[in-house]
Structure 1
Amino acid sequence: MSMSAELQVSKTKLASHRVVDRAEKVLGEGEVRLSVEYFAFTANNITYGAAGDRLGYWQFFPVDNETGEDWGIIPVWGFADVSESNCADLPVGDRVYGYFPPAASVVMLPVNCKPHSFVDGAVHRQALPPLYNRYQRVSADASYSKEGDVPRMLLSPLHLTSYCIWDHLKQQNWFGAEQVIIVSASSKTSLGVAVALDRDDAAPTVVGLTSQANKQFVADTTLYAATIAYDEIAALLDKKSAVIVDMAGNPNVRHALQAQLGDQLQHYISVGLTHWDEEAKGSAGDASLVPIKSQEMFFAPTYILERMKTLAPGEFEKNSSEYLKAATKATFG
């Protein structure tokens, strides 16, 4: 019996992990087996784990846990090849880009097969965000080159979120703010947002918040009008109306921003949870802090579905594709 290795993590203790060899299932009618060649694993995947229950990430590739166990699989973006097929529309050898488990192989049930894409029609994925269930058949793309695999799997999912954040800010007229403050300014998603804002002449001033260790790197990108370290917020951050885009989810930084901006903090957008294990200290329990006027947890797949309803067919794909090329060039070279 053939075996396939997969990486599992504890749903409640993300730092705990194990590699498990599981028996490969026999393909059913219409199913295919994809051999995963490689995938990207970044801070973005930590957000998948931290929000696994809230946003359903654990449900994409469920684990058969023994009683009392809480192991799960954090999805990743990568490339795979069809190694076995019971689907006439998806032959062996087809190369695929999309959402996979960090595993040697995975079985899918392709539906809605088109020359350049298909959807995994597995029953357990029907209620999950459609964006993650759609796979691109890159073998059919005349412009495809394997040399572009790394930047694509590393940056495209993040930069698509970046594009959506910029679009959201613009549609909301920047929430009336004079400055956009990006927390964790060195992250790939943050840099993508900064690229989009830099390309928009109507955008407000963009300020990047980062650690002292990353401050020079962020400043050298020239994408931010000002680069401020977290411990400099009280001394250097202008008390002007602001909208916050937070990629890290560190409660201590959030409270420092509340303390500095007060009622000038117009809106708070939480995107990432890479600091999921950070315990709030100091001002976290300070009742004197001015409450945040409005805030949201930004989820790109939902935003895309709703935004596409307001646009002409293909318009979102065209606009975002043009941006993705520019953002990849700006951040990857």
Structure 2
Amino acid sequence: MAEFQIRRDDLTTIRVVDTGNSEQDFTLDEGEILVKIEHFAFTANNITYGAVGDQIGYWKFFPPSDDNGEIWGILPVWGFADVVSSSSEEIPVGERLYGYFPTSHYLKLKPAMVKGETFFDASEHRSTLPPGYNMYRRVRAEKTYDPSMEHERSLLFPLHLTSFCIWDALQDANWHGVEQILILSASSKTSIGLAYALAEDDNAPSIIGVTSNRNCEYVENLKLYNGTVSYDDLSSIEDIPTVIVDMSGNKQLLASLHNQLGDNMKYTINVGMTHWEDFQNDAEGIIANRSEFFFAPGHIQKRIADWGPAEFNKRSGTFMYKAALKSKDWLSCTVANGLESLQEHFKDVSKGNFAPDQGLIIKL
């Protein structure tokens, strides 16, 4: 067994650690299961987990097996796994699961609140963490489960769930009374998911994709945005009441837009960090009192309380499945074998060098 680890204080330093464990070395307490992770997606979103790991608790999900000094961490990823050993009466060997996993070969879980299609991990160290990340789906019990969509599901469902929640929050706030929505890092998969939702909403304001010069043609060809602007041409953005949805995390870029729009910058939603290196850099001019960090699990809990779990799953699940099907037209998956291959691709993903129409799947 091996683990892909990253330094918590330096997200450019990585290593693969051989823990020396095999499947037979794991012992299970009553009610526990052991899963073997089969494949997972790795995107810039996973780097975001590391950038805000201490603030939100992402480092707590999967502590490294050999690090007591909290120097190293394991980034959570979304993917598929099979149950290979079980002391649970409710989850048998052979179950296939979709959910939140570490970048390693095996994981012990303690299923609770087991239902036909889902259960929650009740491991003590995860008890205070957001419930949405502790839920696992028993995919073979799902009516809509399609094995041929597993790569798209691993890559896009976590991102498009955030997209769905942002759209829902915006329309619930009546778009903050604006005439346009700027989406920064418009080529990112979360941005494209949000654009899918906004483009289908007849009440939504005009949506403008803001991206790098090299991605402008790609964003325009998606035919989802009402306009496309490069980072080098911000002055062309119309000075009208505006919401900014920032997927980039580039504070200098954000400060420039806040200064440029002034009173017409009605609200900024900070979501991702495709430019995560700039996240901790301070920038003068950001209007903090009209900005919020968007935490999707918090919005999910709100809507589950409003709608009930079944209705939330129905609405969000329908959107994510439709969005993934649309994305098949442009998304190409690179499948790489082993944690060592993640080492090889890590720099390109973290530096934003992975083409926007590409997705990385790590198969173990």
Fold agreement, TM-score > 0.5: yes
Q: Any conservation in 2 of the 1:158–1:189 contact (CA below 8 Å)?
A: yes
Paired residue type of 1:13: D
Q: For the residues of structure 2 that align with 1:52 and 1:280, how far apart are their CA atoms?
A: 13
TM-superposition CA deviations, 1:268-309 (whole Å, max 9, x none): 10001232212889x934xxx473551110011111101222
Q: For the residues of structure 1 that align with 2:163 and 2:68, how far apart are their CA atoms?
A: 40
Q: For the residues of structure 1 that align with 2:106 and 2:205, how far apart are their CA atoms?
A: 46
Q: 1:264 to 1:66 in 2, by over 3 A?
A: same
Deviation at 1:199, TM superposition (A): 0.5
* Relative contact order, higher structure (CA 8 A, sep 6+): 2
2:18 corresponds in structure 1 to 21
Match runs of 1:178-197 below 5 Å: 178-197=179-198
User: Is 1:6 paired with 2:3?
Assistant: yes
Q: For the residues of structure 2 that align with 1:213 and 1:134, how far apart are their CA atoms?
A: 38
Q: For the residues of structure 2 that align with 1:66 and 1:158, how far apart are their CA atoms?
A: 30
Q: Any conservation in 1 of the 2:34–2:85 contact (CA below 8 Å)?
A: yes
Q: For the residues of structure 2 that align with 1:279 and 1:305, how far apart are their CA atoms?
A: 26
Q: Any conservation in 1 of the 2:33–2:85 contact (CA below 8 Å)?
A: yes
1:99 corresponds in structure 2 to 100
Q: For the residues of structure 1 that align with 2:108 and 2:67, how far apart are their CA atoms?
A: 22
1:233 corresponds in structure 2 to 234
1:284 corresponds in structure 2 to 283
Q: Name structure 1 gaps, 5 residues minimum.
A: none
Match runs of 1:1-333 below 5 Å: 4-22=1-19, 23=21, 24-64=25-65, 66=67, 68=69, 70-234=71-235, 236-278=236-278, 284-285=283-284, 289=285, 291-312=287-308, 314-333=310-329
Q: For the residues of structure 1 that align with 2:107 and 2:286, how far apart are their CA atoms?
A: 49
TM-score (norm 1): 0.93
The SS at the match of 2:98 is strand
Deviation at 1:67, TM superposition (A): 6.1
Paired residue type of 1:270: N
Q: Name structure 2 gaps, 5 residues minimum.
A: 330-364
Q: For the residues of structure 2 that align with 1:209 and 1:179, how far apart are their CA atoms?
A: 12
CA-atom RMSD, angstroms?
Answer: 1.8
TM-superposition CA deviations, 1:4-55 (whole Å, max 9, x none): 1111101111111111122353222211110000000001101111010111
Q: 1:89 to 1:66 in 2, by over 3 A?
A: closer
The SS at the match of 1:84 is strand
Q: For the residues of structure 1 that align with 2:167 and 2:199, how far apart are their CA atoms?
A: 10
TM-superposition CA deviations, 1:194-246 (whole Å, max 9, x none): 01000000000000000000000001111111100001002x11011101100
Q: Any conservation in 2 of the 1:252–1:280 contact (CA below 8 Å)?
A: no
Deviation at 1:87, TM superposition (A): 1.0
